[in-house]
């Protein structure tokens, strides 16, 4: 098949083989290699922030990265080489995807130009593009920091959804959310209302409490610790008597705060699984 034949027909052409290799089912060595490279990039990004050495011989943790030598700086040659290797691989992969995307009828039906432009503006293609473009922009001096860019490829893990077994699982989740949407929306509304009222109450009772006043200087400030309280966690306990009463009430409310949505989703999944099994048995 000619490269510019945008009909999206799958065959034994080179373009079709490349499509199956880089953008078909999750069953090729190339796809698994890309996945491992994505994970390696994320791990590299994480360990690069480790402190290699601190100021002097002090055992006090470094106050900020400006005063510390990070691993990414101490072993810059390794990280830069790995970054370059990753960018080269990801760039080749991106170009191959753009070239062979016409094998997908969703894009091939528009022809060689519009089809490829349509693919390039799709979600996964944009993630690919933004993951490699900062590196090239840095080569022209348009941006400074490039260490974080390949971590964006963590989003490519969503490509696991291409596997049919994952599609079925998330298809069930979509059915459950759609079926129980009104009830979950009502739960969310009441949860936000409880969050706002309790944050306001804790603000008025604890704003002058010297032990915890720093966390309740305003209602917006009090919303973060109150959100933790509503999950059942109480990192702060030195409240006024009235504050203790409110906090204790929140501990009771927190049970319903999570129990109702959990029960709704649980029962919804049971029904969805039973319906899916019924459909499979009929087939």
DSSP string, 22-55: HSSSS-SHHHHHHHHHHHHHHHHHHHTTSEEE-S
Q: DSSP 3-state assignment of 118?
A: helix
- Tokens 């969310």 sit on residue: 188
pLDDT in tens, 67-109: 667 787 788 899 889 988 988 998 998 999 999 998 888 898 8
pLDDT at 4 over 50: no
pLDDT in tens, 127-152: 888 878 878 887 777 655 544 444 44
pLDDT at 170: 63
The better pLDDT of the pair 193, 65 is held by 193
Q: DSSP 3-state assignment of 227?
A: helix
Mean per-residue pLDDT, 239-265: 83
The better pLDDT of the pair 17, 55 is held by 17
pLDDT at 241: 92
pTM of the predicted protein model: 0.57
Confidence category of residue 162, pLDDT binned at 50, 70, 90? very low
Considering 63-72, 85-94, 154-163, 246-255, the range whose residues carry the highest mean pLDDT is 85-94
Confidence category of residue 181, pLDDT binned at 50, 70, 90? confident
Mean per-residue pLDDT, 115-125: 89
d(CA 254, CA 199): 14
Is residue 274 a contact partner of residue 266, using CB atoms and an 8 Å limit? Answer: no
- What percent of the chain is predicted at pLDDT more than 90? 12
Structure token digits, residue 59: 């055992």
d(CA 201, CA 244): 11
**Mean pLDDT of the chain, nearest integer:** 77
Interacting residues of 34 by C-beta distance below 8 A, sequence separation 6+: 22, 89, 90, 93, 156
CB count in 10 Å sphere of residue 244 = 13
Find the farthest-apart pair of alpha carbons in the chain and give their distance in angstroms, rounded: 79
pLDDT at 160 over 70: no
d(CA 63, CA 95): 43
pLDDT in tens, 25-79: 656 788 788 888 888 887 887 787 777 765 554 444 554 445 667 787 788 899 8
The better pLDDT of the pair 172, 130 is held by 130
DSSP conformation letters of 69-107? EEHHHHTHHHHHHHHHHHHHHHHHHHHHHHHHGGGSHHH
């Amino acid at each position: 098949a000619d490269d510019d034949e945008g009909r999206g027909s799958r065959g034994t052409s080179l373009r079709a083989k490349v499509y199956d290799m880089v953008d078909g089912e999750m069953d090729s060595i190339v796809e698994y290699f890309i996945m491992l490279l994505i994970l390696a990039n994320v791990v590299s990004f994480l360990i690069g922030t480790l402190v290699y050495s601190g100021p002097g011989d002090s055992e006090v943790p470094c106050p900020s990265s400006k005063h510390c030598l990070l691993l990414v700086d101490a072993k810059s040659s390794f990280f830069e080489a790995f970054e370059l290797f990753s960018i080269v691989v990801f760039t080749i992969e991106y170009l191959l995807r753009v070239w062979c995307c016409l094998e997908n009828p969703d894009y091939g039906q528009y022809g060689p130009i519009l089809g490829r432009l349509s693919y390039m503006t799709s979600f996964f293609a944009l993630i690919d593009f933004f993951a490699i473009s900062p590196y090239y922009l840095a080569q022209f001096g348009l941006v400074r920091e490039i260490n974080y860019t390949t971590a964006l490829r963590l989003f490519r893990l969503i490509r696991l959804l291409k596997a049919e077994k994952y599609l079925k699982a998330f298809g069930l989740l979509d059915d459950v959310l759609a079926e129980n949407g009104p009830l979950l929306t009502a739960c969310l509304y009441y949860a936000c209302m409880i969050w706002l009222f309790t944050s306001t109450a804790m603000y008025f009772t604890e704003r002058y409490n010297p032990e915890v006043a720093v966390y309740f200087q305003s209602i917006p400030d009090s919303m973060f610790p109150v959100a933790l309280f509503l999950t059942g966690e109480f990192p702060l306990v030195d409240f006024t008597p009235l504050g203790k009463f409110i906090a204790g009430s929140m501990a009771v409310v927190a049970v319903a705060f999570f129990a109702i949505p959990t029960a709704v989703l649980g029962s919804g999944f049971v029904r969805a699984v039973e319906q899916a099994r019924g459909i499979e048995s009929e087939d």
